[in-house]
Amino acid sequence: MKQDSGIDVTLLPSSDPSAWASILLEALPYIQKFMGKCVVVKYGGNVLGDSVDSNEEIDAELDSFAEDIVLLHSVGILPVIVHGGGPQIDEWLNRIGKVSAFSNGLRVTDAETLEVVKMVLLGKLNPSIVQAINRHGDKGVGVSGLDSSLIVATKAKGDIGFVGDIESVNPEIILSILKDGLIPVVATIGADSQGQGYNINADFGAAELAVAIGAEKLVYMTNVEGVRGKFDDPTSLIQRMQPGELENLLGSDTIQGGMRPKLQSALSASKNGVSSVHILDGRIPHAILLEMLTDRGIGTMITEEVVEK
């Protein structure tokens, strides 16, 4: 049963108006805690999923995520979006008959693959996210790691082609965008001082950026409920870990595929001043609002702190 507001009142705990107000009031301490603080949100290509396959202008899940981000921004929190694009890159490589190999969760990137990575991230996904944000308030600004040398990279070790290790992050452009009251949306293509471009894993990009801007929180939104203690068991969700516990877990073979760079980067961020790092299921509607502004903690949280929720 929807009213004009679009809210399905049957989903609310009670028809008592004070219950409605208490939902809003629950957010108050969180708004006060995070107001003026930066939150880096890595939006996984796996969550972006369907929007690339359809030619629809507006993808419903992306639109809902964008609305959540605009809400956070409107109450004084400073979100920075960093996005991935794995499945969409696969899809476009497939069109030219290429299949990527992966090494420790990183895409082996030859020159042709690098071109596709750039085209998909900078030509398709980044503007889609910016447009979705702008539908809710005209504040989205797309940048890549190339802009103002945001991400300076060097060739990663091993025989994995144009995969870059992050040498430094120059966050001034992000700080200026935030200062202007806007929401940066970052695609993690980097370059070295000679102008050679590199494919940078977005999880590492998000973590390094979070450290460089002194973010309070780093949130990875992906397509799994959080970190599983047993890779193939969805009931083995780890709700909270200290960095030391995460380090031990990374030593095991429980962490596979794309979860490996995610947790390596999460560990590095939490050891370098980001007080809480979260792995959330981006398929849950409004996952980021539930995590940030309500008493319900969801997914996996990595922190040294004693946590109340």
Ligand X SMILES: Nc1ncnc2c1ncn2[C@@H]1O[C@H](COP(=O)(O)OP(=O)(O)OP(=O)(O)O)[C@@H](O)[C@H]1O
Please list, in sequence order, all residues whose beta carbon lies within 8 angstroms of the beta carbon of residue 125, skipping any fewer than 6 positions away. 45, 48, 52, 83, 85, 88, 187
Least separation, in Å, of the C-beta of 92 and ligand X? 13
Contact 250, 264 (CB under 8 A): yes
Least separation, in Å, of the C-beta of 46 and Mg ion? 7
Give yes or no for residue 294 binding ligand X (CB under 6 A). no
Write each residue from 250 to 279 as x if it is in contact with ligand X (CB under 6 A), else as -, in one continuous string: ----xxxxxx--x-----------------
Residue closer to ligand X by CB (options 228, 278) is: 228
Structure tokens at 90: 């696969």
Tell me the number of residues near ligand X by CB under 6 A: 21
Least separation, in Å, of the C-beta of 1 and ligand X? 35
Alpha helices, H only, the chain: 17-26, 28-34, 45-48, 60-74, 86-95, 111-118, 126-134, 172-179, 202-212, 243-250, 259-271, 287-293
Residue closer to Mg ion by CB (options 140, 258) is: 258
Give yes or no for residue 79 binding ligand X (CB under 6 A). no
Structure tokens at 73: 């921004």
CA dist., res. 120 & res. 240, Å (int): 34
CA dist., res. 107 & res. 199, Å (int): 9
Among 217, 228, 269, 280, binds ligand X (CB under 6 A): 228
46 interface partner picked from Mg ion, ligand X, none, CB below 5 to 8 A per type: ligand X
Among 30, 39, 41, 46, binds ligand X (CB under 6 A): 46
Give yes or no for residue 64 binding ligand X (CB under 6 A). no
Residue nearest to Mg ion (CB): 258
Residue closer to Mg ion by CB (options 99, 306) is: 99
Contact 275, 303 (CB under 8 A): yes
222 interface partner picked from Mg ion, ligand X, none, CB below 5 to 8 A per type: ligand X
Interface contacts to Mg ion, rule CB under 5 A: 258
Contact 218, 267 (CB under 8 A): no
CA dist., res. 189 & res. 199, Å (int): 5
Give yes or no for residue 241 binding ligand X (CB under 6 A). no
At 253, which amino acid appears? Answer: D
Least separation, in Å, of the C-beta of 44 and Mg ion? 6
Residue closer to ligand X by CB (options 86, 190) is: 86
Pair type for strands 164-169 and 183-187: unpaired
Residue closer to ligand X by CB (options 171, 282) is: 282
Residues near ligand X (CB under 6 A): 44-46, 84-86, 202-203, 222-224, 227-228, 231, 254-259, 262
